[in-house]
């Protein structure tokens, strides 16, 4: 359980980190929080010749509000920072909530957003949250900087659009609509979820009619959703967009009935793994139940509560 | 450009004491503490971040010392169970563990104490639920956790009573 020998370099700047990575000829790894990489190195599932420590890089740090109402989150942002950041809680509460679900306190103190995204564990919370939020992943390398939509970034099991000579630098998170939900089921708090669902609901599509007012509370009735983004995690080889369920909700008032129907559509769309913690069928069942619950959370946030 | 190296010079403080040493790049902080500094209170269990036995504080925040390389600790302050133990006797939290029989084999105990130290620094009067959640990342194969939770609750109660008196 000790890692194989490697050579270590502490990068002093982003440019130096890129140069060190290039000099490693595909056999170098970026070390940020190390909460996924180091276990894999200890188990010798990964044996990089060179480890480039980027923890000191200011270029990769910080949470900056953008003029458009969103956030630019540096890749080195720790999960604990993300969960506690007033800017994140205000502008992208789904992301803060997802961060609270990652591992245990000791893991959240070290683990980074960029690391979680680059590692791309299909059961991880943050990649799913970023797909639900329609975030963009920024990376840079010898060919310059580029940006990829989170939706297109995750390509499969531990596989992403990030090239071996590139470094993930930041995540651009757009302003989050007020309707959102995040639920997961794990055996114990801190364990990887058996399955989970993130939901983002934007209301008030100009082309759909508002739902008819009922009784005296017509003003508090939710408008039909404009855009619903539903993303499952732990239910496939990457964060899974539950597009069937999303389409089912398009132009339909979001309520208990439509949330239940969306849940029924979500389960069969998933291709989860079977393992000692749960069968594929059980996880599909969870996708159904958790989709409904995530949508009900979104409904509860959209409806003004009783005064 | 920095040249990647198999041996790395690192300066840090451990329990308030400055330490300067050349370490093998692959040396974990846990092994560095135990083998190089003789601080064997930090226990090594799973070596992949699951069991929590090797938990230490880095700049006051809990961390798995099996998931950090000693080389990464340049300029940081590490606190181990030894640093949380008074020169004579036990800390109030440790004493509460003793009184409540919150350990059997004792392997998980240092990690439990370190984890709880961070919890109580952030949340001086945690609920039972918060205590259970905080220690859920520290595996105990003996006690069933009941006495550990009780020990933490009693330490909190004693401190609160002390603060009122």
Give how far A115 is from chain B: nearest CA, Å. Answer: 14
Residue A207 pLDDT level (bands cut at 50, 70, 90)? very low
| pLDDT on residue A203 | 78
pLDDT in tens, B35-80: 999 999 999 999 999 999 999 999 999 999 999 999 999 999 999 9
What is the distance between the alpha carbons of residues A203 and A221, in angstroms, rounded to a whole number? Answer: 11
Residue B6, both tokens: 């198999």
How many CA atoms are closer than 13 Å to the CA of A291, on its beta-carbon side? 38
Residue A2 lies in a domain: no
Residue A237 lies in a domain: yes
Q: Check if A9 contacts B (Cβ < 8 Å).
A: yes
The structural domains of chain B, with segments of one domain joined by +, span: 7-84, 92-164
What is the distance between the alpha carbons of residues A282 and A291, in angstroms, rounded to a whole number? Answer: 14
What is the distance between the alpha carbons of residues B13 and A77, in angstroms, rounded to a whole number? Answer: 24
pLDDT in tens, A188-201: 888 889 999 999 99
Beta-carbon contacts of B117 under 8 Å, excluding residues fewer than 6 positions away, are B57, B84, B93
Distance of CA B148 to the CA centre of its chain: 15
Residue of B nearest to A111 (CA): B63
Beta-carbon contacts of B96 under 8 Å, excluding residues fewer than 6 positions away, are B102, B151, B152, B154, B155, B158
pLDDT in tens, A280-305: 999 999 999 999 999 999 999 988 66
Residue A145 shares a structural domain with residue A201: no
Read off the CATH number of the domain in which A260 is found.
3.30.390.50
Q: Check if A87 contacts B (Cβ < 8 Å).
A: no
| pLDDT on residue A223 | 57
Cβ–Cβ gap A52/B6 under 8 Å: no
| pLDDT on residue A208 | 44
User: Is 1.10.150.120 the CATH number for B92-164?
Assistant: yes
Q: What range defines the domain where residue A41 resides?
A: 7-53
pLDDT tops 70 at residue A99: yes
Alpha-carbon distances, residue A290 vs A113, A119, A181, A245, A303 (angstroms): 24, 24, 10, 12, 20
Percent of chain A with pLDDT over 70: 91
Question: What average pLDDT does this structure show over A161-188?
Answer: 96
pLDDT tops 50 at residue A38: yes
pLDDT tops 60 at residue B158: yes
Neighbours of B165 (CB within 10 A): 5
Cβ–Cβ gap B4/A52 under 8 Å: yes
> Measured between beta carbons, which residues in chain B are less than 8 angstroms from residue A52?
4
pLDDT in tens, B76-131: 999 999 999 999 999 999 999 999 999 999 999 999 999 999 999 999 999 999 99
Percent of chain A with pLDDT over 90: 85
Residue A307 lies in a domain: no
Residue A230 shares a structural domain with residue A154: no
Query: DSSP secondary structure string, chain B?
Result: -PPPBSEEEEEEEETTEEEEEEEETT-BHHHIIIIIS--TTS--SSSSSSS-TTEEEETTEEEEGGGSBGGGGTT-EEE-GGGGS-SSS--HHHHHHHHTT--SS-SSHHHHHHHHHHHHHH-SS--HHHHHHHGGGS--SSS-SHHHHHHHHHHHHHHHHHHH-
Phi, psi (5° rounding) for residue B113? -65, -45
Residue A28 shares a structural domain with residue A68: no
User: Which residue in A106, A107, A108, A112 has the most chain B C-beta atoms within 10 A of its own C-beta, making it the best mutation to test that interface?
Assistant: A106
ipTM of the complex: 0.95
pLDDT tops 80 at residue A54: yes
Query: DSSP secondary structure string, B98-130?
Result: HHTT--SS-SSHHHHHHHHHHHHHH-SS--HHH
Residue A43 shares a structural domain with residue A113: no
Residue A1 lies in a domain: no
pLDDT tops 50 at residue A218: no
| pLDDT on residue A217 | 47
| pLDDT on residue B2 | 87
Structurally, what CATH architecture does the domain formed by B7-84 represent?
Roll (3.10)
pLDDT tops 90 at residue A32: yes
């Amino acid at each position: 359980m000790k890692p194989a020998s490697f050579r270590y370099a502490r990068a002093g700047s982003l440019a130096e980190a890129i140069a060190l990575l290039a000099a490693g000829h595909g056999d170098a790894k970026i070390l940020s929080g190390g909460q996924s990489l180091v276990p894999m190195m200890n188990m010798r599932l990964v044996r990089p010749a060179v480890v480039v420590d980027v923890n000191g890089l200011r270029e990769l740090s910080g949470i900056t509000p953008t003029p458009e109402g969103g956030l630019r989150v540096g890749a080195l942002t720790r999960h604990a920072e993300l969960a506690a950041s007033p800017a994140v809680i205000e502008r992208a509460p789904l992301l803060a909530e997802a961060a609270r679900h990652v591992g245990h306190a000791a893991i959240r103190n070290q683990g980074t957003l960029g690391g979680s995204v680059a590692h791309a564990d299909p059961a991880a919370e943050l990649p799913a949250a970023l797909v639900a939020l329609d975030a963009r992943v920024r990376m840079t390398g010898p060919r310059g900087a580029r940006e990829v939509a989170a939706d297109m970034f995750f390509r499969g099991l531990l596989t992403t659009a990030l090239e071996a000579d590139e470094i993930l630098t930041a995540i651009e998170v757009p302003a989050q609509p007020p309707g959102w939900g995040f639920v997961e089921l794990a055996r114990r708090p801190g364990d990887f979820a058996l399955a989970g669902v993130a939901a983002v609901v934007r209301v008030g599509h100009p082309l759909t009619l508002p739902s008819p007012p009922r009784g005296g509370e017509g003003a508090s009735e939710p408008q039909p959703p404009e855009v619903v983004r539903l993303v499952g995690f732990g239910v496939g080889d990457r964060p899974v967009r539950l597009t069937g369920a999303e389409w089912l909700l398009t132009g339909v008032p979001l309520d208990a009935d439509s949330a239940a129907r969306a849940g029924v559509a979500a389960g069969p769309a998933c291709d989860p793994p079977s393992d000692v913690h749960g069968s594929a069928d059980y996880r599909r069942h969870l996708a159904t139940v958790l989709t409904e619950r995530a949508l009900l959370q979104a409904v509860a946030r959209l409806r003004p509560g009783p005064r | 450009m920095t040249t990647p190296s198999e041996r790395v010079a690192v300066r840090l403080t451990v329990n308030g004491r400055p330490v300067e040493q050349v370490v093998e790049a692959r040396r974990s902080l846990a092994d560095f503490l135990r083998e190089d500094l003789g601080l064997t209170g930090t226990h090594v269990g799973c070596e992949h971040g699951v069991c929590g036995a090797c938990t230490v504080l880095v700049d006051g925040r809990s961390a798995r010392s099996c998931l950090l390389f000693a080389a990464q600790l340049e300029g940081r302050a590490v606190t181990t169970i030894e640093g949380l133990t008074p020169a004579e006797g036990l800390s109030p939290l440790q004493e509460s563990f003793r009184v409540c029989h919150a350990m059997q084999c004792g392997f998980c105990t240092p990690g439990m104490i370190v984890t709880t130290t961070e919890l109580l620094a952030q949340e001086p009067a945690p609920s039972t639920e918060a205590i259970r959640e905080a220690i859920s990342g520290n595996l105990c194969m003996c006690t069933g956790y009941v006495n550990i939770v009780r020990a933490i609750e009693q330490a909190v109660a004693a401190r609160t009573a002390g603060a009122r008196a």
